[in-house]
Structure 1
Amino acid sequence: MASPFDIDEIYPDDGDHELRLPRRQAGNSPQGVAVTLLADYTLRTRVSLPSAAIVALLGETGVTTAGARTAISRLARRGVLEGSRLGRRSSYRLSRGAAASLSAGAHWILTSTTSTVRWDGCWTVVAFSLPQELSGQRRALRAQLRWLGYAPLYDGLWISPRELNAPARARLDQLTLGAVTVFRGRQAPLGSAIHRAPIEAWDIDAISRSYDAFLRRWTPLLPGVVSGDVDGAAAVRARTEVMDTFRRFPVLDPQLPLELLPEGWLRRPAQELFAAVYDGLAAPAERHVRAVVARFADGTQPGIRAHTTADMLAGVRVEASLAERGHGGAAG
């Protein structure tokens, strides 16, 4: 089984839609870091930030100036960012489509790791067959199924313990042109000892190791977060990294039934640690982002607000009045 950390998309790609969020890579890509930074501090307001400020913030994460400018340019071409100019100076903000997709993705991340819905013992099965010449459509379908929490039990047969909800159904309808059949039911037990259980579509040992690695990486930082010792650029870097790492877990572990998992499953401890670090660093990280932006903007930037786990669960609605009036659009 291919590592879920190498899936094409963490956030959804609507196939033919012009908006294309960055492909997830092994490690942090400049485009991915840029999207995380902008979502973490401007998702609700879609405030424009000076391009020089975005470059400076990316530089604090280790992205070179050339790499940062290239990332911004590519994100604008993808439809993720919208640019504006004032003389020779440029600013960028999240596009409305990107903000909507990122908000939906953020909500999915938290609900997938905090839901307490009991499993009814049934599996949703998606069977599809696409001809070889539609390889691009097949890749898009697989990426969507991963994003929706499915895993391949066999080639062309993907499963999930959760029901196919309306948004998931709409996405599959857009991608498959009638080439998919969906079932929901219980597994029929077989007498043979060699049958494959549906839960085996996921590498449970690998997921467990990923949770353990996450806890070992972030637990030592927690005392510094609580005491306020993590500040400035370090706070922004930590929030970016913890988000970039944690948001992969709903794909690794899409609310897999606890009844089928080893005792002491680490989903909830990981979620609680993520929330403690991400929310605990919100205030110092926001102050630092405001300070960096102020170096390149004319006046204050009221639209910079740290995104929290409460926002993620509630679902962020873009404040059109602030965004569309262009507040914070001073160029850098």
Structure 2
Amino acid sequence: MTSPFHIEEIYSDDGSNSLRMPRRQVGNSPQGFAMTLLADYTLRTRAALPSAAIVALLTESGVTTAGARTAISRLARRGVLEGSRHGRRSSYRLSRAAAANLSSGGNWILTSTTVAAPWDGCWTIVAFSLPQDRNAQRRALRSQLRWLGYAPLYDGLWISPYELTTRARAQLEQLTLGTVTVFRGRQNVLGSISDRAPIEAWDIDAITRHYAEFLDRWTSLLPLVSSGQVDGAAAVRARTEVMDTFRRFPTLDPQLPVELLPPGWLRQPARELFAAVYDGLARPAEQHVRAVVGRFTDSAPLGIRAHTTADLIAGVRDDAGVGPAEAGQDGGWQSPDPAAHCDELTARAPAELT
């Protein structure tokens, strides 16, 4: 499912640390699949999985072996994964920063697709001006505004129906350094044929089509899920895909006020269908992940636990930040070398911010 806005990864990277989540590509990317897979079964514990097991699980989802290995390597360089080697075996787990980011993102996905809060009829307007030689900064700002639920009414003028939070304000200040103005108010309708309604900043027809495509894709599978006929690799593949697809909706439809939307808006039916498929496949998918990981370890795999939508709303994280598979092993884990990370960031910056 391609976003009509061509937005990047919904999990925000505000530049405050070395963690760089993967860029959202058209379609499903190996890095996105790998990140979703690890989050779905190890987010609570940050359990380590053998690299061979991760590759095996990704190839079952249609990723090539080379693509799976490249995805793991790039996620490690980004700071999303930490690696450890014992003899000839290498293992990877989510970094603390990535686990916190994904837990927050998972919560946001579910809470952002609930019934919208009452709307006071006002709009928050973000106006900015950046010189042409700061094109990368402009693109980073636009990406951040998308993640915050804003859309461009005009070039350099973005809007949202909701208040700008304190955290969002701080993030924008880091990116703009005084080149942005924020204010809130009601639209003064001119009555002219050229008067553009603020809701037109979003492509409502395109969002409707994406909801309809999602419902068409997953409704037919639901009876099979409910009757337990989807298991093994098929359960893992479907669960990863439904999450990788549904997680884009909060940015496409950031709780737009129902008063401004066509009758029968499909946000709630899509959310209910997602929950039914995602939760319904949790147990068989977890069992299969355990079985695959077990083929590459000498002992029973620990820390593999599928979470549900209720867990995502509550906040999926281990309070201590350390799962059973991590105890006593921190000394063997490595994050990317800072110098190498800076070199790669410099080399890739233009592509990452498009």
CA distance in 2, matches of 1:328, 1:47: 12
Give distance in 1, aligned partners of 2:27 and 2:113.
Answer: 22
Kindly provide the amino acid, as one letter, of the partner of residue 299 in structure 1: S
The question of whether the paired residues in 1 share the 8 Å contact of 2:84 and 2:91 is answered with yes
User: 1:59–1:68: 8 Å Cα contact kept in structure 2?
Assistant: yes
Q: How many angstroms apart in 2 are the aligned matches of 1:280 and 1:70?
A: 31
Query: Are the aligned partners of 1:302 and 1:328 in contact in 2 as well (CA < 8 Å)?
Result: no
Q: Contact conserved, 1:22 with 1:32, CA < 8 A, in 2?
A: yes
SS class of match (1:321): coil
* Deviation per residue, 1:6-46 (Å, 9 max, x gap): 21222101236311111111111111100010011111111
Deviation of 1:302 (Å): 2.6
Amino acid at match of 1:100: A
State the distance in 1 between where 2:116 and 2:151 align.
21
Q: How does 1:107-146 map to 2 (within 5 A)?
A: 107-146=107-146
Where does residue 320 of structure 1 map in the other structure? 321
- CA deviation vs aligned residue, 1:224-271 (integer Å, no higher than 9, x gap): 000000001000010111111111111111000100000000000000
Deviates more, 1:108-117 or 1:255-264: 108-117
Q: TM-score, normalised by structure 1?
A: 0.95
Q: Which has the higher mean CA deviation after the structures are superposed, 161-170 or 10-19?
A: 10-19
Partner Cα separation in structure 2 for residue 162 and residue 237 of structure 1 = 36
Alignment partner of 1:271 is 2:271: yes
Q: Return closer, same or farther for 1:61/1:327 CA change in 2, 3 Å cut-off.
A: farther
Matched residues, percent identical?
76
Give the conservation status (yes or no) of the 8 Å contact 2:286–2:304: yes
CA distance in 1, matches of 2:98, 2:122: 34
Task: Look up the match of 1:7.
Answer: 7
- Return the alpha-carbon distance in structure 2 between the equivalents of residues 4 and 176 of structure 1: 26
Residue 301 (structure 2) aligns with: 301
Query: Structure 2: how far apart are the matches of 1:8 and 1:59?
Result: 24
SS at structure 2 position matched to 1:278 = helix
Residue type at the aligned position of 1:186: R
CA contact (8 A) 2:46 2:322 kept: no
Report the Cα offset of residue 301 of structure 1. Answer: 2.2
Does the 8 Å contact 1:303/1:328 carry over to 2? no
Report runs of 4+ in structure 1 exceeding 4 Å deviation. 326-331
Gaps of 5+ in 2: 334-354
Number of residue pairs aligned between Structure 1 and Structure 2:
330
Offset at 1:67? 1.0
Given the superposition, is the C-alpha separation of residues 3 and 274 from structure 1 closer, same or farther in structure 2, using an over 3 Å criterion? closer
| 1:75-122 deviation digits (Å, cap 9, x = unpaired) | 101101000110111000011111111111111111110144111111
Alpha-carbon separation, structure 1, partners of 2:146 and 2:116: 21
The answer as to whether partners of 2:239 and 2:281 remain within 8 angstroms in 1 is yes
Deviating more after overlay: 133-142 vs 150-159? 133-142
Distance (Å, rounded) in 2 between the aligned partners of 1:230 and 1:303:
23
Q: Do structure 1's residue 74 and structure 2's residue 74 form an aligned pair? A: yes
CA contact (8 A) 1:297 1:330 kept: no
* Residues 1-332 of structure 1 mapped to structure 2, 5 A cutoff: 3-4=3-4, 6-15=6-15, 17-318=17-318, 319-322=320-323, 324-325=326-327
Residue 128 of structure 1, CA deviation: 0.8
Deviation at 1:314, TM superposition (A): 1.2
What do the CA deviations read for 1:159-215 (whole angstroms, capped 9, x no partner)?
A: 011111122122112211121111111111112132000000001011111111110
The letter for the 2-side match of 1:8 is E
RMSD: 1.9
Shift of 1:298: 2.2
**Deviation digits for residues 120-178 of structure 1 (CA, Å, limit 9, x no counterpart):** 11111111111111111111111111111110000010001111112212211221112
Q: Which moved more, 1:110-119 or 1:145-154?
A: 110-119
Give the Å deviation of 1:328.
12
Task: Summarize the Cα distance change of 1:212–1:329 in structure 2 as closer, same or farther, 3 Å threshold.
Answer: farther
Q: Distance in 2 between matches of 1:66 and 1:73?
A: 11
Quote how far apart the aligned CAs of 1:65 are.
Answer: 1.1
CA contact (8 A) 1:40 1:306 kept: yes
Q: Distance in 2 between matches of 1:311 and 1:110?
A: 10
Deviation larger for 197-206 or 299-308: 299-308
Please report the TM-score for the alignment, with normalisation by the length of structure 2.
0.89
- Which SS does the other structure have where 1:35 is aligned? helix
- Hey, what's the Cα distance between the residues in 2 that align with 1:329 and 1:25? 35
Instruction: Decide whether aligned partners of structure 1 residues 327 and 227 sit closer, same or farther in structure 2, where only a CA change above 3 A counts.
Output: farther
**Residues 207 and 252, structure 1, Cα contact 8 Å, conserved in 2:** yes
Residue type of the alignment partner of 1:149: G
- Say if 1:49 and 1:328, in contact at 8 Å, map to a contact too: no
Report the AA paired with residue 252 of structure 1: L
